[in-house]
């Protein structure tokens, strides 16, 4: 399982803070200010719907597939020489809105992942179209899979114990369910034998929902490497490939995993 050339450490920055309801300018400016003091990193993660807050007003808040926020992500990815990720509402066609995660590269290219599991308790399944495919991307030899918020509750969709080094979630996860957040994230790390990173917001939205933050990074045994609690700002963590590879050689539980086929 070891590569001929060891992977370099993967340097992460998780940006946690409050979001202003339906105010793209204010939210983009907030994160732009945080970028000004950013240390050298490889991958920067922003919360779910970081430009609007978690809203069901898909029609009024949607952008085109190359709208202002995606352009903003690409520009900052280039300026900072990082991969920059956040999710936003994208209009694909009339009546077809996606909660779309953008993987923006510094060279101006990007990939995307559309949220598969839509949070029906908020009516997301009525206002958005679910994604139909997973995304795996590569960064400096690291195999990475991005997911969004409610996806965390579905281990089959999250599972890929052999081919993933880092699994990450961008979220707007309310404080009322923080216990589930803090328990499910270690479970995803343990069962997938990979690192897990998760970014959440803080503050309160216009519906009165409180957000506790709890952005964090865990290792492949579910042990905490970083926990931002309810603080605001930029939080850093560096991941090492060798301990992960060594652990998977010593404890190759993925070899006994059940086979399955997704039916979408």
Whether 32 contacts 2, CB under 8 Å = no
The neighbouring-strand residues paired with 86 are: 102
Question: In the block, which residue shows the tokens 């052999």?
Answer: 162
The set of catalytic residues is 48, 115, 149
In this structure, what DSSP letter does residue 259 have? P
Among the listed residues 98, 113, 230, the one whose alpha carbon sits nearest the alpha carbon of residue 170: 113
CA distance 50 to 80: 18
In this structure, what DSSP letter does residue 73 have? H
The H or E element spanning position 44 is: strand 43-45
The H or E element spanning position 188 is: helix 178-192
The H or E element spanning position 29 is: helix 24-35
The sign one gets for the Cα dihedral 209, 210, 212, 213 is: positive
The neighbouring-strand residues paired with 44 are: 13, 84
In this structure, what DSSP letter does residue 94 have? T
Could you report how far apart the first and last alpha carbons of the chain are, in Å? 31
CA distance 220 to 222: 6
């Amino acid at each position: 399982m070891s590569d001929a050339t060891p992977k370099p450490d993967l340097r992460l920055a998780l940006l946690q803070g409050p979001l202003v309801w339906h105010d793209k300018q204010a939210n983009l400016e907030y994160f732009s200010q945080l970028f000004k003091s950013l240390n050298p990193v490889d991958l920067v993660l922003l919360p779910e719907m970081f430009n609007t807050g978690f809203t069901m007003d898909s029609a009024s808040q949607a952008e085109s597939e190359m709208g202002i926020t995606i352009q903003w992500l690409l520009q900052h990815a280039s300026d900072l020489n990082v991969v920059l990720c956040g999710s936003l509402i994208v209009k694909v066609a009339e009546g077809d809105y996606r909660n779309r995660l953008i993987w923006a590269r510094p060279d101006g290219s990007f990939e995307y992942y559309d949220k598969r599991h839509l949070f029906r308790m908020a009516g997301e399944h009525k206002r958005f179209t679910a994604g139909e495919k997973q995304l795996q991307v590569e960064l400096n030899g690291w195999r990475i899979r991005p997911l969004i918020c409610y996806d965390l509750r579905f281990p089959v969709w999250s599972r890929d114990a052999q081919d993933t080094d880092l699994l990450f979630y961008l979220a707007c996860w309310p404080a009322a369910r923080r216990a589930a957040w803090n328990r499910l994230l270690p479970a995803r790390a343990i069962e997938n034998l990979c690192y897990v990173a998760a970014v959440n917001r803080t503050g309160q939205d216009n519906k009165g929902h409180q957000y506790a933050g709890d952005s964090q990074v865990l290792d492949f045994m579910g042990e905490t490497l970083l926990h931002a609690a309810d603080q605001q700002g930029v939080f850093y963590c560096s991941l090492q490939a060798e301990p992960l590879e060594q652990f998977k050689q010593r404890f190759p539980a993925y070899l006994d995993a059940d086979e399955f086929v997704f039916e979408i």
